[in-house]
Amino acid sequence: MNPSKGDETMTRIESHDNSEVVIAALATPEGYKGSPAPPQGDAILINGRGQTNCTATGSSSCTYPPPPEIHVPVNCRVRLRFISATAHPMYRITIDNHPLEVVETDGTAVYGPTVHEISIAPGERYSAIINTSEGKEGDAFWLRTSVALGCMFGGTDQVGLAVVRYTGNGMVSTEEPQTTAWSDLAGATTPCAGLDQTYTLSPRESFSAPREFSQSHVFNSQRGAFVNVYGNTFQGYGFNNISYQNQIFNPLLSIVQRGGSCESTLVASTTFPDLGSGNIIINNLDGVIDHPYHLHGNEFQVIGRGTGALSLDNLTNIDFNLDNPVRKDTLWIQGGSWVVLRITTDNPGVWALHCHIGWHLTEGKLAVVVIQPGAIGHMEGPESWTNLCANTDPNAFGPARRSPSPSIQSSKTSTFQYLREVKGKVVKRRGAREA
């Protein structure tokens, strides 16, 4: 975005070593380097740049790169959008001397709090407005991104830094900030919680949850021992006692298009056959492991939370928040807790529901929500798209490196054109739906 327009986009991502060895080790009882927990990243990257700890490398060629800079116009209200592209930790983000007025989460404009730091889980997005009136042109302030160790097993203190610098019409200083952090920030080991749990986030375009719903479905989420298609036992994650196993040449969407069902021992699934509204109950049965859950293709309204596990029989005993609840697509759920999500089933498809910790996803923490399978059966695509898996083994499992079929090589242009056409027809919601 153009800073002169009062906007600035910031992307956060975390760097890891090659993953193949780590993933294979995590599936064993011994884990990776003796731990069932995924490893912590070497650095926190902000807009693609991090700071290397040269003292830990023992290499004379190691250089300490300068922190990234975010230039913002002085004496303005500037929107910063924080995007957590990390594969593992929850972060806490703060800017010295600048309160953060939260105005958006996961694409939904909200009336939110003004805070000194924002907790953000993998896959979440938040926008905050800052007032750049804390100094003059050239002044600089530290943006600090710290790992929330309360949900990072075996982690160590880690802070990524960026420079927020005021700009104007003159020369820009290159001096590093001399600012100090807010005195009331959460401690590194403070228990993790989503921002929507700590504060009220009220959508600016009001849409109360429908009081009537057609169905409710439960996903029990838990780590454990599973058996793969080859008969081997592995440690992993799953929903409803099923750890996802990927048939790489037999996509779930194609199965439903052909009139088939996703109900199998390969993936946990649930189906909403008709247009309307329904509930998805997620029970995080991992007592000490928190997870960020992400639903593809749909926003949801968070209408209820609690501790323990919630059954369908107890659903009628819950006092739900139906009055303009926050709308999101990614949600942090602590271990030993439940949440009820209200969705409107107006977007036919086979939509993934998965943990946004990438390591947990590779260990099978994915389910699917099938919406209006009858409508899916009437979806049509070009032959080049429907033949993407031609001349392949439908019983092959991944992830794995593989050579594309001839039909993929010969149809790239038409396939990409089709995807562009589909994207152009997608209506992205911006707030309330019509009742």
For residue 189, give the CATH number of its domain: 2.60.40.420
Length of the chain: 435
Residue 422 in any domain: the answer is no
What mean pLDDT comes out for the span 417-426?
A: 38
The reply to whether 316 and 384 lie within a common domain is: yes
Q: Identify which of 311, 292, 91 has the alpha carbon closest to the alpha carbon of residue 217.
A: 311
Looking at the domain assignment, is residue 208 inside a domain?
no
Return mean pLDDT, the chain: 87
Determine the Cα–Cα distance for residues 69 and 78; give it in Å rounded to an integer. 15
pLDDT number for residue 6 = 59
Residues spanned by the domain of 88: 8-203
pLDDT tens sequence across 36-63: 888 888 889 999 988 877 776 667 777 7
Which one, of 141, 152, 149, 169, lies nearest residue 73 by Cα? Answer: 169
Where among 351, 366, 388 does a domain terminate? Answer: 388
Mean pLDDT of 336-365: 96
- Write out pLDDT tens, residues 202-252: 999 999 999 999 999 999 999 999 999 999 999 999 999 999 999 999 999
Q: Are residues 197 and 251 in the same domain?
A: no
Q: Does any domain span residue 320?
A: yes
Statement to judge: residues 35 and 175 lie in one domain: yes
Between 385 and 348, name the one with better pLDDT: 348
In a domain, 431, yes or no: no
Strands of 201-323 (E only): list them.
202-203, 215-227, 233-239, 246-247, 268-272, 277-284, 291-295, 300-307
CA dist., res. 263 & res. 254, Å (int): 14
The token pair at 99 is 């309160």
Q: 316 vs 117, which has greater pLDDT?
A: 117
- Specify whether 196 is located in the same domain as 259: no
Residue 415 has pLDDT above 80, yes or no: no
pLDDT at res. 240? 98
Q: Is the pLDDT of residue 14 over 90?
A: no
Residue corresponding to tokens 């003292």: 55
Residue 260 pLDDT: 94
175 plus 119 within the same structural domain: yes
pLDDT bin (cut points 50, 70, 90) of residue 402 is very low
Strand order in the sheet with 215-227: 233-239, 215-227, 277-284, 337-344, 300-307, 327-328
Both 197 and 303 in one domain: the answer is no
- Tens digits of residue pLDDT in 105-115: 999 999 999 99
- Shared domain for 371 and 289, answered yes or no, is yes
Q: Does residue 432 carry a pLDDT above 50?
A: no
Q: Is the pLDDT of residue 256 over 70?
A: yes
Domain boundary among the residues 153, 171, 203 is at 203
297 and 370 fall within a common domain: yes
**Residue 119 shares a structural domain with residue 221:** no
Residue type, 179: T
Same-domain status, 174 and 115: yes
In a shared domain, residues 199 and 95: yes
- Domain-embedded: residue 250: yes
Would you say residue 434 has pLDDT above 90? no
pLDDT confidence of residue 65: 83
Q: Is the pLDDT of residue 406 over 50?
A: no
Q: What is the pLDDT of residue 425?
A: 41
Based on the fold, state whether residues 237 and 162 are members of the same structural domain. Answer: no
Confidence class for position 5, pLDDT limits 50, 70, 90: low
Residues β-bridged to residue 354: 294, 366
Q: What is the pLDDT of residues 115-128, one digit of tens each?
A: 999 999 999 999 99
What's the confidence (pLDDT) of residue 244?
96
Domain count, the chain: 2
Closest CA to 115 of 238, 179, 226, 198: 198
Within-domain flag for 403: no
Residue 34 within a domain: yes
Q: What is the pLDDT of residue 17?
A: 55
Of 151, 172, 203, which residue constitutes the final position of a domain?
A: 203
**What pTM, to 2 d.p., does this model score?**
0.86
Contacts of 426 (CB under 8 A, 6+ apart): none
Residue 426 lies in a domain: no
User: In the β-sheet with 330-333, what is the strand arrangement from edge to edge?
Assistant: 268-272, 366-371, 349-355, 291-295, 330-333
Query: Which pLDDT belongs to residue 53?
Result: 73
